[in-house]
A and B are shown apart, each in its own frame.
Chain A
Amino acid sequence: MADVFQAGVLTLTGGAARPACSAVEDEVVALFDEYREPLLRYLTTFGVCAADAEELLQDVFLALFLHLRGGKSRANLRGWLFRVAHNLALKRRQRDRGGAVAGLPAPAQTPDPAPNPEDQLLHGQLQKRLAAAYRALPERDRRCLWLRAEGLNYREIAAVLEISLGAVALSLARSLARLERCAER
Chain B
Amino acid sequence: MARDPHLSDPQLLMELEGELSRRAATKIGRHLAACGKCRARRRALEAMIADWTRLQRTAVALPSGDGPRALLRARIGRLGPPPAGPARGALAHGKLTLAACALIVLAAAMVKHSSPRPVWAAAVPDARLTPGATLRATRESVCAQPNTKNRAVPVALRRKVFESYGLRDASPRDFEVDYLITPALGGADDIHNLWPQPYRSTVWNAEVKDALEDRLRDLVCGGALDLSEAQREIAADWIAAYKKYFHTDRPLEPR
Contact = CB atoms under 8 A, between A and B. Distances in A.
Interface of A is mostly: helix
Given A2-B222, A13-B226, A21 B81 contact: yes
Contact of B224 (A6, A148, A155, A166): A6
B35 to A, nearest CB: 18
A65 B104 CA distance: 13
- Interface size for chain A: under 10, 10 to 19, 20 to 34, or 35 or more residues? 35 or more
Contacts of A70: 82, 93, 96-97
A89 interface: no
A149 B65 contact: no
Nearest to B9: A173
Interface string B200-231: 00000000000000010011001011101100
Interface string A129-163: 01100100000000001101110011100000000
B99 to A, nearest CB: 10
Interface stretch (B25-33, B71-79, B180-188): B71-79
A176 B9 contact: yes
Contacts of B141: none
A75 interface: no
Contact of A58 (B62, B64, B68): B68
B63 A130 contact: no
Nearest to B52: A149
B120 interface: no
- Interface size for chain B: under 10, 10 to 19, 20 to 34, or 35 or more residues? 35 or more
Contacts of A149: 49, 52-53, 56-57
Contact of B76 (A55, A62, A120, A179): A62
A113 B59 CA distance: 11
A80 interface: no
A161 to B, nearest CB: 15
Contact of A29 (B9, B72, B96, B222): B72
A40 B59 contact: no
Nearest to B224: A6
B88 to A, nearest CB: 8
A107 B222 contact: no
A154 B225 CA distance: 44
A26 to B, nearest CB: 8
A111 interface: yes
A36 B69 CA distance: 9
Interface string B28-44: 00000000000000001
Contacts of A28: 72, 76
A47 to B, nearest CB: 13
A20 B79 CA distance: 14
Interface string A109-130: 0111110010011100001001
A102 interface: no
A170 B12 CA distance: 11
A54 B55 contact: no
A17 B72 contact: no
Interface of B: 8-10, 13-14, 17, 19, 44-45, 48-49, 51-53, 55-65, 68-69, 71-73, 75-76, 79, 81-82, 84, 93, 96-97, 100, 104, 108, 111, 191, 215, 218-219, 222, 224-226, 228-229, 244-245, 247
Interface of A: 2, 5-6, 8-10, 13, 17-18, 21-22, 25-26, 28-29, 32-33, 36-37, 40-41, 44, 50, 54-55, 57-59, 61-63, 65-66, 69-70, 104-105, 107, 110-114, 117, 120-122, 127, 130-131, 134, 145-146, 148-150, 153-155, 165-166, 169-170, 172-173, 176-177, 179-180, 183
11 contacts: A28-B76, A41-B56, A66-B97, A69-B82, A120-B59, A130-B52, A154-B19, A165-B19, A169-B13, A169-B14, A180-B44
